[in-house]
Amino acid sequence: MERSFADLEYESEKRKTRREGFLERMDALIPWERLLEEIRPYYPKAGKGREPYELESMLRVHCVQIFYNLSDPATEDMIYEVESVRRFTGISMSKVPDETTILNFRHLLERHGLGQVLFESIKEHLAEAGLMLKEGTIVDASIIEAPSSRKNRKRERDPEMKQTRKGNQWHFGMKLHVGVDDQSGLVHSLATTSAKVHDLTASEELLQGEEVRIWGDAGYRGMEKREAHKDRQVAWHIAMGPSQRRRLARDELEWLMEECKSSVRSKGEHVFFHVKQMFGYRKVRYRSLGKNENRLALLLGFANLLRAESCMV
């Protein structure tokens, strides 16, 4: 293939940008063929009419959209504007998919629940590398805000998003619940609910069933008494409430035990750092829990790959 002046200029650049470095890392970490096999049965075949884009290129475009938390039009613009993104996706300037094609691919993944399928596939990939363990689980949840404005086509808020109070502040949106391995810090399960649903309600979906240890913050107090958990033969490491902990002296054994719980549970907080800070998913991108969960599942799969990177090199 004949190289353009832009290609030659790009290859002669003096310094690698952070975006280039990140895309190279993700290109090496993602098990592409494994993910493609999951999507291929649902992807349109070549036939009459317009020739579909190559599946791998569209998956790579979708990954770029998730990495940078982009809308469909913004994803199209980034491919046009950024050479390193075109190289990552394998798309030339003359064949950039338009925003409708990008939207249709996203809808295909949502329609077949493939976000969760790809998350499970990445999990299997990590398990084969010996990185997914089953002895201990940290349960945690975080609120993801949704627009509270009614200035939209239907003149209403998303009916699946609800309001809740945390401390002295009200939040409108959804909750992302995760189950995290207490040794590797990798996410092995997730669930989404409206923000007003208590953390305990989704706890059953976050456990693998083979745990001998379960960790949680003070929001999970009483978890062991619930019908779904009362017969589990596990060690419960649920944090004290703030008022109880303030009464402890720093040299007491109970205070030291609470410090130990906090240090383990911090691995759950690292998950939300990846979601909200690294990938910028501080606010929901779509209406409905299902669409957001589909995107979050794949995002958590990528967070797992980054977390496991040092063990896979």
Task: Tell me which DSSP letter residue 247 carries.
Answer: T
Instruction: Examine the pLDDT at 154 and tell me if it is beyond 90.
Output: no
CA 236, CA 240: separation in Å to the nearest integer?
12
Residue 170's pLDDT is what? 92
Question: Highest mean pLDDT range out of 27-36, 39-48, 86-95, 230-239?
Answer: 27-36
The CATH 3.30.420 domain(s) of the chain lie at 134-287
Residue 132's pLDDT is what? 83
Buried/exposed 81-110: b ≥16 CB within 10 Å, e otherwise: ebbbbbebbebeeeebbeeebbbebbebbb
| From 30-44, 50-64, 96-110, 141-155, the region with the lowest mean pLDDT | 141-155
Strand, helix or coil at 251?
Answer: coil
Residue 213: is it exposed, middle or buried by C-beta count within 10 angstroms (0-12/13-18/19+)? middle
Pick the CATH number of 134-287 from 3.40.50, 3.30.420, 1.10.287, 1.10.3470: 3.30.420
Residue 150's pLDDT is what? 75
Residue 77's pLDDT is what? 96
What mean pLDDT do residues 108-128 have?
Answer: 96
| From 138-142, 220-224, 296-300, the region with the lowest mean pLDDT | 220-224
Instruction: Examine the pLDDT at 130 and tell me if it is beyond 90.
Output: no
Residue 155: is it exposed, middle or buried by C-beta count within 10 angstroms (0-12/13-18/19+)? exposed
What mean pLDDT do residues 16-20 have?
Answer: 90
Average pLDDT, the chain: 89
Amino acid of residue 73: P
Residue 2's pLDDT is what? 46
- DSSP annotation string for 2-35: PPPHHHHHHHT-SS--HHHHHHHHHHHHS-HHHH
Per residue in 226-238, pLDDT (tens digit) is 988 988 999 999 9
Per residue in 190-213, pLDDT (tens digit) is 999 999 999 999 999 999 988 999
Close Cβ partners of 28 (under 8 Å, ≥ 6 residues apart): none
Write the CA distances from 54 to 28, 40, 79, 89, 307, integer angstroms.
Answer: 20, 11, 16, 10, 29
Per residue in 91-117, pLDDT (tens digit) is 988 889 999 999 999 999 999 999 999
Residue 254's pLDDT is what? 83
Instruction: Examine the pLDDT at 6 and tell me if it is beyond 60.
Output: no
Contacts of residues 251-257 at CB distance under 8 Å and 24 or more positions apart, as own/partner, are none
Task: Tell me which DSSP letter residue 156 carries.
Answer: S
What mean pLDDT do residues 233-257 have?
Answer: 82
Say which residue the tokens 């979601």 belong to: 275
Residue 98's pLDDT is what? 94
Task: Tell me which DSSP letter residue 284 carries.
Answer: -
Say which residue the tokens 């349109």 belong to: 44
Indicate the pTM of the whole model: 0.89
Close Cβ partners of 192 (under 8 Å, ≥ 6 residues apart): 174, 175, 176, 177, 289, 292, 293, 296
